[in-house]
Structure 1
């Protein structure tokens, strides 16, 4: 979601007010205890890689521990002409390093288990180990913040691929029906749309596609003239976005926004980490990465040469 704020940077980056807003953003320790000797080297100076983690605290399956439900590697190339967002399915089976307390990890597991076992530092280590890409910054997004952000924009336009009914909705009866076609979604509907996976045969992969759609739609709406030229709407959008995120201690959202003020939805490339399919490991349902294809994609990230294409149907 940080890229949404980035996209509006031309209008919001310059003033002392926005510096004061940034000072209120929650800061998190993401790199404390991450051993330098095990981290990937920087290949292209001035390119930037951010690990964006989203948490869905309303997930009915989330009954214990803290899990990162959405994992995105966002790559900003050296020339800042575009951005590539690579979603990593949360059930991807990877090697998780041992946690700092020595009680967890040191074995293969679902990638999002790293956050439950060792917080952000272990998540950074796990994603870096899996991708071979060094993370420069970390952004945590409260999924519930989607609602306030979308409402601050007076809704977003989404082209729904096929109709479905969510049975884990924010509505009092936990149900919301979506019709096929292009339509405007308010905050609650957008959040339901971005959360739903049970209604689709491909489950979390459908949810990844829909989250990417929502990110692009928010960015497109945020940089439209109606928002940028309306101080009240812009203020509401900025406050909603900053309330929804926490960032590592060295990331300046204002500076990032200034660097990337030309970004629009058309400059974003969406990808999903290549996979071979799903299966079982013991009693766990997991996703198996297509290692050669994933290695090729993440090597392109390291070399700052990811193609500017949309790769996931958004």
Structure 2
């Protein structure tokens, strides 16, 4: 019985006993512009971290004590552990940022293993410490997932790693896929976006297409719309009546987060103590941080990064409709992806993105 036949199986995850899926050849193409990034909390973490750094050690201590701690990364090889120490001192940094959502299972769906991650991102902080690149790995990417928990290893959607083995197995999977050692990891709760929208007194989101809600009678016509936290959350959860399905939901999330960042900048909230306190409190409460990641090092590493210096990209893929035993999946363009990952390791990803623009 495969995942599509098992009524108790999550539609995006192979049963632990499933055999490795056969390879299929998808159509060849490039991602469109609206599929460039799944930023969710990524950019906001960097921007708000800059705000903390601007307040010095008092703010760092105040808010780092609020975050949850957990073991999110597997043990690093001795050589990689030493290299990571050097990276924190003077080299480029690569962090794993996962977006967790306790409400990720849609009505009628069942998740037999555990919580899923709708967001898997590499956050690359340049050696110069004045720019960053956030690289999204589509959650449905069909990749080799190493053994972990009840999973015996083999091909599966990448978000299955989180369900079977949590952040540590996800990190192992990302490390195997990219060849990039990780210098830290964080999990951000998707639900905090709703609170952040309310904290900035709502946002104005400009939608490039019509979206009809599957949860209510709301409809967002092409154009700009004022949204409070509840409406923004409902908008971000749409995936059936939006162009591109899950990739459309990616775009909706991106639009809302960018609107929050714009509101923070327009109202100079990073320089208003009371408003900043609220934003930082929400951000801190939403984060689970690897037990070995020193947030003081992180906030000072990103303090000179401004929103305009944050780039976004998605790992190249050739098909979003690959047929697998785990259901429809994303087939990555491994030739282009390998080049991208090499550029991240060499700290030349910004130039690589200039040389390899996505086809609109």
| Fold in common (TM above 0.5) | yes
Return the match for 2:240 from 178, 198, 207: 198
Which residue is equivalent to 2:278?
236
CA contact (8 A) 1:7 1:257 kept: no
Return the match for 1:47 from 92, 96, 115: 92
Return the match for 1:132 from 171, 179, 197: 179
Whether 2:69 is the aligned partner of 1:20: answer no
Mean alpha-carbon deviation: is it higher for 230-239 or for 218-227?
218-227
CA separation of 1:109 and 1:272: change in aligned 2, threshold 3 A: same
* Superposition pairs of residues 1-314 of structure 1, within 5 angstroms: 1=41, 3-13=43-53, 14-32=56-74, 34=75, 36=77, 45=87, 46-59=91-104, 60=106, 61=109, 63-64=111-112, 65-99=114-148, 101=149, 103-168=150-215, 174-277=216-319, 278-282=321-325, 284-307=327-350
CA contact (8 A) 1:6 1:258 kept: no
CA contact (8 A) 1:223 1:264 kept: no
CA separation in 2, counterparts of 1:190 and 1:230?
24
Offset at 1:165?
1.1
Mean alpha-carbon deviation: is it higher for 104-113 or for 157-166?
157-166
CA separation in 1, counterparts of 2:234 and 2:345?
34
CA contact (8 A) 1:87 1:208 kept: no
CA separation in 1, counterparts of 2:80 and 2:183?
11
Offset at 1:38?
11
CA separation in 2, counterparts of 1:22 and 1:35?
24
Offset at 1:62?
5.2
SS in 2 for 1:70: strand
CA contact (8 A) 2:124 2:134 kept: yes
CA separation in 1, counterparts of 2:191 and 2:160?
21
CA separation in 2, counterparts of 1:294 and 1:281?
21
CA contact (8 A) 2:141 2:158 kept: yes
Mean alpha-carbon deviation: is it higher for 126-135 or for 38-47?
38-47
CA separation of 1:109 and 1:223: change in aligned 2, threshold 3 A: same
SS in 2 for 1:86: strand
CA separation in 2, counterparts of 1:78 and 1:270?
17
Offset at 1:6?
2.9
Q: How many residues align?
A: 306
Gaps spanning 5+ residues in structure 2: where?
1-40
SS in 2 for 1:134: coil
The structure with the larger Rg is 2
CA separation of 1:204 and 1:186: change in aligned 2, threshold 3 A: same
CA separation in 2, counterparts of 1:313 and 1:62?
36
Offset at 1:312?
7.1
Give the TM-score taking structure 2 as reference length.
0.76
CA separation of 1:185 and 1:257: change in aligned 2, threshold 3 A: farther
